């Protein structure tokens, strides 16, 4: 009897959950095709039945990638990701913004890359910034959770004063402009947003020592809750060239870390940084100019 009642209650709960899910998707977050297109390999892309969760897979043949149809200049760009679980050594999931959809010699780019690992070994998150084709500005961080178990939010705030990389609203990296013409801060060209999954066992895990185990394929990364609050670029008279008071991401508050962001950022700096190109004097005997800019300003 007791068992029957609890089964019954469970059924009611399940029915209620299902109807909540339905009405939530009915609010219509839009479909994938509204804002994105597949860059390569359609058959490695799937969505959940309601269209709200997207899956990219990698097998021995190829990976897969998608991009926004539009370009944006400045704004807030955010997505929830759940990364390939289990043995994911050699597999890289990239989530990035770029001015073009190839590795052109004058591109600007902002990268999040998730470097897979052997089962039970920690993922690393690598970020990088390119201006006019030049990158080499890597930082690597550990995370404070297992990114393969749940969805977590990864976001970029981009304005003419700073670029912030966030994990669950914690700023893990601050990249400042110096207010002068320079060749390190991408601020002129609009960017698309991309994500892709690929094999990088040449370099990704323990510097390339750990190879992708294809017996574990396909490797799947999941996405949901894309949100973007930015200035959409329209040729030939782009609306995004001037800073207006309309856009919160361009305003004074968004030019610096807030007090609580400073505390979070300090904690990340103390505990999670594995690599910082600005500390790598072997690689850069003269440190790049941007390394002297303070994240606290």
Ligand X SMILES: *[C@@H]1O[C@H](CO)[C@@H](O)[C@H](O)[C@H]1NC(C)=O
Residues catalogued as catalytic = 109, 113
Q: Is 183 in the site for ligand X (CB under 6 A)?
A: yes
261 near ligand X, rule: CB under 6 A = no
When binding is defined by CB under 6 A, the residue of 23, 26, 28, 105 that contacts ligand X is: 105
291 Cβ contact list (under 8 Å, min separation 6): 277, 278
Q: Give least dist CB 46 to ligand X, A.
A: 21
Residue 198: CB minimum distance to ligand X, A: 15
Please report whether residue 133 would count as binding ligand X according to CB under 6 A: yes
Instruction: Please provide the distance, in angstroms rounded to a whole number, between the alpha carbons at the two ends of the chain.
Output: 66
Residue 11 beta carbon to ligand X: minimum distance, rounded to whole angstroms: 38
Q: Is 122 in the site for ligand X (CB under 6 A)?
A: yes
Q: How far apart are CA 152 and CA 123, in angstroms?
A: 14
Q: Which one of residues 52, 205, 212, 222 is an interface residue with ligand X (CB under 6 A)?
A: 205
DSSP 239: T
Q: Two tokens at 221?
A: 């990364």
Phi-psi region of 168 (alpha: psi -120 to 50; beta: other; left: phi over 0): left
Full 3-state SS string of 153-177: EEEEEECCCEEEEEECCEEEEEEEC
- Name the DSSP letter for residue 289: G
When the beta carbons of 195 and 257 are compared against ligand X, the nearer one is 195
Per CB under 6 A, 78 contacts ligand X? no
Q: Phi-psi bin for 216: left (phi > 0), alpha (psi -120 to 50), beta?
A: alpha
- Asked whether 115 and 208 are in contact (CB, 8 A), the reply is no
Number of H helices, E strands in the chain: 3, 15
Q: Candidates 14-22, 93-101, 121-129, 277-285: pick the segment binding ligand X (CB under 6 A).
A: 121-129
Closest CB to ligand X among residues 60, 206: 206
Q: Which residue reads 């190829």 in tokens?
A: 62
Nearer to ligand X among residue 35 and residue 160 (C-beta)? 35
Nearest-angstrom CA–CA distance, 91 and 193: 20
Residue 206 binds ligand X (CB under 6 A): yes
The CB-of-1 to ligand X minimum distance in angstroms stands at: 51
**Shortest CB 85 distance to ligand X, Å:** 14
Q: Which of 46, 152, 189, 232 binds ligand X (CB under 6 A)?
A: 232
Asked if 35 touches ligand X (CB under 6 A), the answer is yes
In the complex, the residues that contact ligand X under the rule CB under 6 A are: 30, 34-35, 70, 105-106, 115, 117, 121-122, 124, 132-133, 183, 204-206, 228, 232
């Amino acid at each position: 009897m007791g068992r029957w009642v609890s089964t019954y209650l469970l059924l009611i709960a399940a029915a209620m959950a299902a109807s909540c899910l339905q009405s939530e998707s009915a609010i219509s977050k839009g479909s994938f095709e509204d804002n994105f297109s597949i860059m390569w390999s359609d058959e490695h892309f799937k969505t959940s039945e309601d269209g709200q969760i997207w899956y990219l897979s990698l097998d021995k043949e190829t990976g897969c990638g998608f991009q926004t149809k539009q370009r944006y200049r400045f704004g807030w760009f955010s997505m929830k990701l759940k990364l390939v679980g289990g043995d994911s050594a050699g597999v890289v999931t990239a989530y990035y913004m770029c001015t073009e959809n190839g590795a052109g010699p004058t591109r600007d780019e902002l990268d999040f890359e998730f470097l897979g690992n052997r089962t039970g070994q920690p993922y690393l998150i690598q970020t990088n910034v390119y201006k006019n084709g030049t990158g080499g500005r890597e930082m690597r961080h550990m995370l404070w959770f297992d990114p393969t178990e749940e969805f977590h939010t990864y976001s970029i705030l981009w304005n003419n004063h700073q670029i912030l990389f966030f994990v669950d609203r914690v700023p893990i990296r601050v990249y400042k402009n110096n207010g002068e013409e320079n060749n390190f801060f991408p601020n002129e060209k609009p960017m698309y947003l991309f994500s892709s999954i690929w094999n990088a066992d040449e370099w990704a895990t323990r510097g390339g020592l750990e190879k992708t185990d294809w017996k574990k394929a396909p490797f799947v990364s999941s996405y949901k809750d894309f949100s973007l609050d930015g200035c959409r670029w329209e040729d030939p008279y782009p609306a995004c060239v001037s800073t207006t008071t309309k856009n919160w991401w361009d305003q004074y508050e968004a030019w610096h870390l807030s007090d609580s962001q400073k505390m979070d950022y300090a904690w990340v700096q103390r505990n999670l940084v594995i690599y910082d190109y600005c500390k790598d004097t072997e690689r850069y005997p003269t440190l790049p100019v941007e390394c002297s800019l303070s994240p606290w300003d």
